[in-house]
Amino acid sequence: MLVATVVVNLPLADDARWGAVAVPRPRGSDSPATDDDSGHRAVRSAARSPANRRSRRFLLLVFWALLAVGMWLWWRDTPGGAVDGPPAALTEAGRITGLLGGYLLLAQVLLMSRVGPLERKVAANDIVGWHRDLGGVLVVVVVAHVVLTTVGYARMDGLSVLRELWRLTTYEDMISAFVATGVLVGVGLLAVRAVREALPYEAWHVLHLVSYAVLLLSYGHLFALGRELSAPGLGRSFWTALYVVVIACLAWGRVLAPWRLNARHRLRVAAVVPESADTFSIYVHGRRLDELEAKAGQFFRWRFLDRGVWAQAHPFSLSAAPNGEWLRLTIKAVGDHTRRLRALRPGARVLVTGPSGVFTAEHRVRHRALLIAGGSGIAPIRAILEDLPPGAVVVYRASRAADLIFRGELEHLAEARGASVVYVIGARDDPGPRSVISPHGLRRLVPDIHRRDVYLCGPEGLVRSAQSALRTLRVSRRQIHVDPFEL
């Protein structure tokens, strides 16, 4: 059964007004569609599904367990009396922060390795959040390592800090260590939100990739001067194994798996179809797409090998569930790169990495679902609707009716799958739309909300308001799947 509702600038606390704004739409009706962002998605992922929680807990357990082993090896290999006196204590503190910095660096690289099991078992916003938080800690720890070690040796040698720093440059592999520290601090400063927003995306992306050089530059320093790593033994075997595993994951996730995927499917642009004046869909076809291990709600990182766009890869969600014949992504032209994508030539080669994300129907814990989307957040929501059992309710938030996208498709799917679609239209502060995304509004719209999974995808304000309402309604966190926009 299809129920399509348009809510326009009316408060919904009054039951009569609620009924007055219900406007049924016939099957197949399709308003002009635009989108409110480019379709970029850096994180599209389910949050706190049972499978995701288990994966997160397992990874955190492994992280802390390996860190504990590394610190135990330092304790085991530290001679008695090695920390007697302030200079020795400072030096040992420098060793500890050096080991911790090396460990955090490996964790950072692993998080961004795009190795398949990590990408498809843990929410992408969790991965990005861990990477961001660990990055700040890593910069502080590495700077502390340099300061503590230099001051400790300076006091031991009776030299000034600057003279000791100069003397340390004569040590084996120390120049590369200083360069690695400078690169790391520079990347950390560029990651500050205010600085990052002032940089073009392309410049920030290239500079961020330079951080991989830190892994190579620090390798010689760690194994040449680290007490636990320079001599054969359990410590060296432990750290060597960590390096081997991380580099293997990086090679697989960044090089080998993408090469295998693209060699198998040989994707090409089939067509570029305008959806509105500034919104378009790209249809991609290829070989053996029925074997593509992608699910509705996931995303790929796309690189189109065509003039003017081949140098950049960007993340876009699928706007339709994979069907074995074609893939579709829908984009609004808001920047130089997305505007150039409108001119893609049919037949252009496409390289992808992925699929990524766990914002999928298979992570639900209830039979029925409520899906709340804002703007182009409707893309993964529309795709997920194809995989859900009957009875789903879709709430689609937009500022204007002209901003709705996939309207005809949504209503056709709703009729075919016994779902309902509710359009919530109006400015952000209008009382009608605000009333719908409220505890009272959601309870009135979906009385059995406690027995549904809730999928959220859209701008931060919408997601935050919906989460607040769901907390008030005491909807279990395990039933809430969040797919925020975070570019």
What is the β-pairing status of strands 368-374 and 452-458?
parallel
Over 60: is that where the pLDDT of 225 sits?
no
Average pLDDT over residues 247-259: 91
Count of Cβ atoms closer than 10 Å to residue 137 Cβ:
13
Phi, psi of 475, rounded to the nearest 5 degrees: -75, 130
Give yes or no for residue 282 having a pLDDT over 90. yes
Overall residue count recorded for the chain in this entry = 487
Burial class (CB in 10 A: 0-12, 13-18, 19+), 143: middle
Q: What is the DSSP string of 29-71?
A: -------SS--B-S-----S-HHHHHHHHHHHHHHHHHHHHHH
Structure tokens at 319: 């706007």
How big is the CA angle at 60 (ends 55 and 63), to the nearest 5 degrees? 125
User: pLDDT tens digits for 344-402?
Assistant: 999 999 999 988 888 888 888 898 999 999 877 888 899 999 989 999 999 998 888 88
Stronger pLDDT, 203 or 40, i.e. the higher one: 203
Classify strands 420-425 and 393-398 as parallel, antiparallel or unpaired: parallel
Helix/strand/coil (H/E/C) assignment for every residue in 130-180: HHHHHHHHHHHHHHHHHHHHHHHHHHHHCCCHHHHHHHHCCCCCHHHHHHH
Residue 19 has pLDDT above 80, yes or no: no
Q: What is the pLDDT of residue 304?
A: 96
- Give me the amino acid identity at 27: R
pLDDT tens digits, residue range 28-42? 333 333 333 344 343
Radius of gyration for the alpha carbons in the chain, expressed in angstroms and rounded: 26
Q: How far is CA 264 from CA 287, 296, 481, in A?
A: 7, 21, 32
Is residue 288 pLDDT above 90, yes or no? yes
CB proximity list for 53: less than 8 A, separation 6 or greater: 478
d(Cα 409, Cα 412) in Å, to the nearest integer?
5
Quick count: other Cβ atoms within 10 Å of Cβ 483?
A: 31
Q: Is the backbone peptide bond immediately before 447 cis, with ω within 30 degrees of 0?
A: no
On the question of pLDDT at 437 being above 80, the answer is yes
**What's the confidence (pLDDT) of residue 42?**
35
Query: Distance between CA 444 and CA 469 in Å, rounded?
Result: 13
For position 12, what pLDDT does the model report?
Answer: 36
| pLDDT classification of 128: cutoffs 50, 70, 90 | confident
311 burial class (0-12, 13-18, 19+ CB within 10 angstroms)?
exposed
Q: What is the pLDDT of residue 179?
A: 73
pLDDT of residue 33: 33
Compute the average pLDDT of residues 122-147. Answer: 81
Percent of the chain at pLDDT exceeding 90 = 21
**113-127, 201-215, 404-418: segment of lowest average pLDDT:** 201-215
Cβ-based burial of 457 (10 A; exposed 0-12, middle 13-18, buried ≥19): buried
420 strand-pairing partners: 393
With H, G, I as helix, E, B as strand and everything else as coil, classify residue 2.
coil
Question: How far, CA to CA in Å, does 34 sit from each of 280, 428, 455?
Answer: 9, 17, 22
Helix 50-77, helix 86-111: angle, nearest 10: 150
What gap in Å lies between CA 72 and CA 209, rounded to an integer? 32
HSE (side-chain half, CA atoms, 13 Å) at 224: 12
pLDDT at site 8: 47
pLDDT recorded at residue 362? 81
Q: Count of CB atoms within 10 A of residue 39's CB?
A: 26
Provide the whole-model pTM: 0.73
Mean pLDDT, the chain, integer: 78
Question: Distance between CA atoms of 260 and 246, rounded to whole angstroms?
Answer: 20
Alpha-helical runs (H) found in 386-438: 407-417, 431-436
Give percent of the chain above pLDDT 70: 76
